[in-house]
Amino acid sequence: MNIIESYKELKRNIPLLIEASGYKDNYIARKIGMPIPNFSAKKRRSNWDEEDIERIIKVVSSPNEEVEDILDAIEAKLAMQSEDVSYEEYKLEVAKWK
């Protein structure tokens, strides 16, 4: 497949990538700095430019940083509230989360 065909195929499949990511349109629009109505119109028309495609792929293929930040804050808060534990106890507790 040549470069142009690869690009066209990627552009056609952006809606599939968005759906597979599980992220809502408004989340992706906010993360790429695009007004939600513009994002919705571009999605409906499949009218993405190269920069849109690149930014969308970065968002849908990376972990949700906001969720990770919240989880880190919760973990830090709990650590501050709990009794001191040894490193071994900590490792055992973290292993339970996985």
- pTM, 2 dp: 0.65
Mean pLDDT of 36-53: 93
Residues 6+ apart with CB under 8 A from 17: 56, 57, 60
Is the Cα dihedral 23, 98, 75, 61 positive or negative? negative
**For position 50, what pLDDT does the model report?**
92
Beta-carbon neighbour count of residue 29 at 10 Å?
21
pLDDT > 90? residue 94? no
**For position 82, what pLDDT does the model report?**
62
pLDDT > 60? residue 1? no
Is the Cα dihedral 55, 60, 65, 70 positive or negative? positive
pLDDT > 90? residue 25? yes
Beta-carbon neighbour count of residue 48 at 10 Å?
19
Mean pLDDT is highest, among 18-27, 33-42, 53-62, 75-84, for 33-42
